[in-house]
Amino acid sequence: MTRPLLYGAAIFMAALFVAPFVWTLLTAVKTEAELYTFPPSFLPETWRWENFHTAWTKLPFTTFLTNSTIVVVLSTVGQLFSSSLVAFGFARFRFPGRDVLFVVVLASMMIPWDVKMIPLYMQFNFLGWINTLKPLIVPAWFGEAFFIFLLRQYIMSVPMEIDEAARMDGANSWQLYWRIHLPLMLPALVLVGTFQFMNAWNDYLGPLIFLNDQSKYTLTLGLSMFKGLHGQDFISIAAITVVLCLPPLVLFFFAQRYIMDSALGSSVKG
Amino acid sequence: MTKYASTALSVALAGLLPAALAAQEEGTLRLATWDDEESLEIIESIAAAFEAAHPGTDVQIEAYGDGYDTKLSAAMGAGNAPDVMYMWNFPAYAASLMPLNDFIERDGAEMDIDDISPALLDVSRIDGNVYGMPAGFTTHVIFYNRDLLEEAGVAEPEAGWTWSDLREKAAAASDPENQVYGFAVDARPDPYDFEQFYWSNGTQFISDDGTEIDGYMNSPEGAEVLNMFADMIASGEAVALNIGDDVSGSALFRGGNLAMFEGAMWNKGGIDESGIDYGIVGLPAFEGKPVKSAINSSAVSISADTDNPELAWDFVKFFSSPEAVAMRVNDLPVRASVAAETGQADDPMLAPFFEMLEVSEGTSPAFLKHEDWARMQENLSAAIEATMIEGGNAQAHLDDAVRRSARFLR
Amino acid sequence: MTVTTDTVVATSSRRRRRPVSHMVPWLFISPWIIGFVAFTLGPMLFSLYMSFFDWPIVGERTFIGLDNYVTMTTLDPQFWESLWITVKFALLFVPLNIAVGFLLALLLNAGLKGTGVLRTLFYLPSVISGVALVTIFSWLYSYRFGVLNYLLGFVGIDGPNWLGDPSWALVAIVFASLWGVGSTMLILLAGLQAIPRELYEAARISGVPAWARTLYITLPMLGPMLLFSIITSIISAFQQLTLALLLTEGGPLGSTYFFAMYIYDNAFKYFDMGYAAAMSWIMFGIVLLLSLAVMKSSSAWVHYEGEVRGKKGDKS
């Protein structure tokens, strides 16, 4: 295969994937009037950068940012720890009922949220967690099926001989998990961190259902307030969307190198 | 059991501390709205005025935008409804709302309830129980672009006009080459609003007693309405909306691409901002038949399980008081006195809304008449859309909708 | 490769080492068990319970036995229509999602310069929240003013009314869903890292061509991650809601009225929680059966380098 061809494909795909973002950015700096010209203009006539500031101050977005940050950080830490622990348990041990339990893990992803919502609400209400950030954080500390499955698959592609060697050196199960497997699954953990971060950051239904008070709102809930029943504030939506994309993008840019930085590919010497 | 316990407890407390009774109307009131960021300020200022008049109370506003129904149904389903909430879909929520009849009977005179249009109270009445106090409303009108009509060389529409007048003007103003359209027909209208055309053509979706749709939903008059709109699309007089894009009629109008468009109060703010030179006129009539408009009202209701019904009622009363009604500038005043005082009733840019309200008294929307209307309505929507896409054949599509809905009427 | 692993297991089990207590695996999976019992099991069973009731969101609840299940399968044409639409979507989406994700992962793994930036750019659409993405797509697809048809016009193609033509709308939704392929791409990319490089070295030295290395080394070794991607893609295909709800609202003429959207409408438009719950359990059954079938078949095509094998004689 020729390199130029690969570069061409990469650039074409990149353009395709970046287009929506560019479009959002261009919308964010347009004027209201320009938004409704037909056919739509591509570049804004005047670049109204102040739209970002205007949108941000229309609602207490700084408060929303604080809440989102709390939820994202705490839930991501919890998810990384708990799902790797559970995945290790499923991947590296044999115990009665394991395979049945694992099917239950998978099955727990398959019921749509619509019908789980009311019972969950009752439960959190009973616990006094409604209108707090807890419903958005605590469940992440108990491992989510999607991530457990992902990490289990990853651990199962790590050769058993690594475990054997560590056991021979006297490592117990915890040390095996903590010292050997956790570092080895770094690429997969970066994925779990990224996905959990994005899920929590972009979650709309959870905050909508479980939070009442504006002082508790997260960024997406704030964003949704630009959308009413009979119309929406396109420019503010676009501006906040662009701002919302940036923190995860920057973080992802720095984290993604670790996806490639696998100790495994080179560690196993035949 | 909990309920008895708390009652016993409060009785005991009341006996011990008579002063506690006086403080009964203090506390926090949760108020849920569907307001978006733009209209939130209005309700915030009304709540602030209420707090100022009722020291010791705290109104906690919960704004959910267009996620309102999802949120409300989760909270209600789990038995944790807000004390006071915006409401329009009374049939769906009535079981969890507090009937206000006793309150109204007690305080009606003080509230000057006759000042509120009976047509608006009708919308929140089920089986004789009033479940919400109207706070604002809108009817439907035609917005027209003065410049486009003048360019086309046709006269501006006047009250009492008909659909054939509209079609004539639309045909003259249409210039699809230059992306100018005479009128806009929504292929996926909200059936609640769409029933106004059925009424205006002398029919309705469902019989008065809510037991029949055959001969109503698919009546020849109904099919005539659908075919007329489909014909307007096919002939190029109108542009079709909601077939393949989400460009809205108000967006086209604001962009100066639409000569006439059917809309409501919620469109007016945006159109004002666009700087288009426009006028407003009532809906056109079908030849020789009285015109009717849908009435969209925002009411406020009280949760059946609120801990503080008196305070909640005080708030609802305040919300429909002349003072608060006058503060709502994003929809129309439900009180005739406020409309007269502010001069809104005589404002040519608002008067058509009030005229439409007046002529629409006595109409009864389908969703109040059958508990499964929401499901039947889905089939009706499909028939409307199919007619608009196909460019006619309404009768067959409507018959199909009636057939598919039959199981709900058994 | 299989031979190697078996040899390893065989040699290792001959050696002696400390037996692991029976409690240990349970300790490792205990967070999930606690979380499942606390936050998932209850709501799941409750929804099953609801499915036997006429359960309006507010008001009287009536036990009606299997009525909801009987009604949807015998009286409600929309149930079958929506199910068929969802199956069609899954048949298009799952293979495309895996194929595109795999090709992109290979591309990013080819060692091109600037790969870090490319990875970020490919993942970008997955970062944009659903609502904004939908707005963007309605602009792109718009018949009259859309960018897509404008671009197609340059190459002389008269683009269809993507979201307005019943025969194109489902395809349009499949394309829009593929914008989120970034997640699958990353998962497969991470999977690629776990493949020992010496396998490729050995193959290259023996003169195996690139395409054959991909087919005979990469694909089998990527098995565990492919299995994960297939099963989660099936689940997400059946739960596809946002795009249908916001982009087409199920139309035109019901051509994108997905099963999950019909569940949503039953819950939040018709406030009929019992019916929505019953539909959810039907969907649950279908997805579970499909997943189990894929899992079963996987023993033939997925190779686990580190599988804990054997019923007896294995102490771990």
- When pLDDT is cut at 50, 70 and 90, the band that residue C4 belongs to is very low
**For residue B150, pLDDT beyond 50:** yes
Q: Is the peptide bond before A39 cis (omega within 30 degrees of 0)?
A: yes
What angle is formed at CA B12 by the lines to CA B9 and CA B18, rounded to 5 degrees?
A: 125
Strand-strand pairing, B84-87 and B27-33? parallel
CATH of domain A60-264: 1.10.3720.10
Section B89-100 average pLDDT? 90
Tell me which H or E stretch contains B250. helix B249-254
CA distances from C3 to A112, B321, C7, C303 (A): 43, 84, 6, 12
Tokens standing for B86?
Answer: 């915006």
Query: Cα separation of C316 and C314, whole Å?
Result: 6
Taking the whole predicted model, whether its pTM rises above 0.90 is answered as: no
CA distances from B169 to B174, B227, B249 (A): 9, 19, 17
Cα torsion B278, B284, B290, B295: sign: negative
Strand-strand pairing, B133-138 and A227-228? unpaired
- When pLDDT is cut at 50, 70 and 90, the band that residue B12 belongs to is very low
Domain ranges of chain B: 5-137+297-359, 140-294+372-409
Average pLDDT value over all residues in chain B: 88
ipTM: 0.86
One-letter amino acid identity for A13?
A: M
> Counting beta carbons within 10 angstroms of the beta carbon of residue C257, is it exposed (0 to 12), middle (13 to 18) or buried (19 or more)?
buried
Section C208-235 average pLDDT? 88
Tokens standing for C111?
Answer: 């060692």
One-letter amino acid identity for A81?
A: F
Query: Cα separation of C296 and C298, whole Å?
Result: 5
Q: For residue A48, how many C-alpha atoms fall within 13 Å in the half-sphere facing its CB?
A: 20
Percent of chain B with pLDDT over 90: 57
* Window A:226-255, CB contacts with C under 8 Å: 227, 234, 237-238, 241, 244-245, 248-249, 252-253
Lowest mean pLDDT among A6-20, B341-355, C34-48: A6-20
Q: Which of A31, A36, A203, A227 to mutate to test the interface with B (most CBs of B within 10 A)?
A: A36
Tokens standing for B348?
Answer: 């040519």
* Window B:307-336, CB contacts with A under 8 Å: none
* Inter-chain CB proximity B244 and C142 less than 8 Å: yes
Percent of chain A with pLDDT over 70: 94
Residue A255: per-residue pLDDT:
86
Q: What is the largest CA-CA distance in chain A?
A: 73
* Inter-chain CB proximity C116 and A156 less than 8 Å: no
Residue-wise pLDDT tens digits, B229-283: 999 999 999 999 988 777 788 888 988 999 999 999 989 988 988 889 999 999 9
Angle between helix A234-255 and helix A186-202 axes, rounded to 10 deg: 170
Residue A3 neighbours by CB under 8 Å, 6+ apart: C112
Residue B277 neighbours by CB under 8 Å, 6+ apart: B145, B146, B147
Cβ atoms within 10 Å, residue B28: 13
Query: Cα separation of A208 and A220, whole Å?
Result: 9
- When pLDDT is cut at 50, 70 and 90, the band that residue C314 belongs to is very low
**For residue A91, pLDDT beyond 70:** yes
**The domain containing residue C126 runs over which residues?**
84-301
Lowest mean pLDDT among A65-79, B11-25, C253-267: B11-25
Residue B153: per-residue pLDDT:
94
Query: Cα separation of B108 and B119, whole Å?
Result: 17
CATH of domain B5-137+297-359: 3.40.190.10
Spatial contact of A204 and A224, defined as CB atoms under 8 Å apart: yes
Query: Cα separation of A62 and A261, whole Å?
Result: 35
Of residues C18 and C204, the one with the higher pLDDT is: C204
Percent of chain C with pLDDT over 70: 89
**For residue A52, pLDDT beyond 50:** yes
Section C305-310 average pLDDT? 64
Spatial contact of C137 and C174, defined as CB atoms under 8 Å apart: no
Residue A36: per-residue pLDDT:
67
Sheet (strand B140-145) strand order: B260-264, B140-145, B278-282
Percent of chain A with pLDDT over 90: 40
Does B38 lie at the interface with A, CB-CB under 8 angstroms? yes
Q: Which residues of chain A does C243 touch, with a Cβ-Cβ cutoff of 8 Å?
A: none
Does B294 lie at the interface with A, CB-CB under 8 angstroms? no
Average pLDDT value over all residues in chain C: 84
Residue C143 neighbours by CB under 8 Å, 6+ apart: B243, B244, B245, C149, C159, C161, C162, C163, C164
| CATH number (domain holding residue C233) | 1.10.3720.10
- When pLDDT is cut at 50, 70 and 90, the band that residue C74 belongs to is very high
**For residue B293, pLDDT beyond 80:** yes
What angle is formed at CA B40 by the lines to CA A29 and CA A215, rounded to 5 degrees?
A: 90
Section B373-383 average pLDDT? 93
**For residue A264, pLDDT beyond 60:** no
- When pLDDT is cut at 50, 70 and 90, the band that residue C142 belongs to is confident
Residue-wise pLDDT tens digits, A114-144: 888 888 998 999 999 999 999 999 999 999 9
Residue C17: per-residue pLDDT:
55
Query: Cα separation of B138 and B151, whole Å?
Result: 30
Query: Cα separation of B395 and C278, whole Å?
Result: 34
Does B75 lie at the interface with A, CB-CB under 8 angstroms? yes
DSSP B294: -
Residue-wise pLDDT tens digits, A207-247: 999 999 889 999 989 888 888 777 778 888 889 988 988 89
Nearest one of C79, C57, C53, C83 to C66, comparing CA atoms? C53
Residue C145 lies in a domain: yes
Sheet (strand B296-302) strand order: B57-63, B27-33, B84-87, B296-302, B133-138
Residue C57 lies in a domain: no
Q: For residue C93, how many C-alpha atoms fall within 13 Å in the half-sphere facing its CB?
A: 30
- Fold match, B5-137+297-359 / B140-294+372-409: yes
**For residue C306, pLDDT beyond 80:** no
Query: Cα separation of C93 and C99, whole Å?
Result: 10
Does A54 lie at the interface with B, CB-CB under 8 angstroms? no
Does B40 lie at the interface with A, CB-CB under 8 angstroms? yes
Task: Determine phi and psi for B124, rounding to 5 degrees.
Answer: -105, 20
Q: For residue C23, how many C-alpha atoms fall within 13 Å in the half-sphere facing its CB?
A: 1
Section B381-402 average pLDDT? 94
Chain-centre distance for alpha carbon C278: 22
Residue B191: per-residue pLDDT:
94
Nearest one of B347, A148, B108 to C31, comparing CA atoms? A148
Own/partner long-range contacts of C23-27 (Cβ < 8 Å, ≥24 apart): C24/A93, C24/A173, C25/A89, C25/A93, C25/A94, C25/A95, C25/A98, C26/A89, C26/A95, C27/A89
Which of C58, C146, C253 comes nearest B386 by C-beta?
C253
- When pLDDT is cut at 50, 70 and 90, the band that residue B314 belongs to is very high
**For residue C10, pLDDT beyond 50:** no
Cβ atoms within 10 Å, residue B341: 13
* Window C:246-275, CB contacts with B under 8 Å: 249, 251-254, 265, 267-271, 273
Q: Which of A56, A61, A126, A229 to mutate to test the interface with B (most CBs of B within 10 A)?
A: A229
Three-state helix/strand/coil letters over chain A: CCHHHHHHHHHHHHHHHHHHHHHHHHHHCCCHHHHCCCCCCCCCCCCCCHHHHHHHHHCCHHHHHHHHHHHHHHHHHHHHHHHHHHHHHHHHCCCCCHHHHHHHHHHCCCCCHHHHHHHHHHHHHHCCCCCCCHHHHHHHHHCCHHHHHHHHHHHHCCCHHHHHHHHHCCCCHHHHHHHHHHHHCHHHHHHHHHHHHHHHHHCCHHHHHHCCCHHHCCHHHHHHCCEECCEECHHHHHHHHHHHHHHHHHHHHHHCHHHHCCCHHHHCCC
CATH of domain B140-294+372-409: 3.40.190.10
Tracing tokens 């969209």 back to the chain, one arrives at B296
Does B59 lie at the interface with A, CB-CB under 8 angstroms? no
CA distances from B317 to B34, B251, B320, B368 (A): 20, 37, 5, 24
Residue C50: per-residue pLDDT:
93
**For residue B18, pLDDT beyond 70:** no
Domain ranges of chain A: 1-48, 60-264
Q: Which residues of chain A does B66 touch, with a Cβ-Cβ cutoff of 8 Å?
A: 224, 227-229
Three-class secondary structure of residue B241 per DSSP: strand
Residue C6: per-residue pLDDT:
38
Percent of chain B with pLDDT over 70: 94
Q: For chain C, how many structural domains are there in total?
A: 1
Residue A263: per-residue pLDDT:
57
Section C240-246 average pLDDT? 84
The number of helices, as runs of H, and strands, as runs of E, in chain B is 19, 12
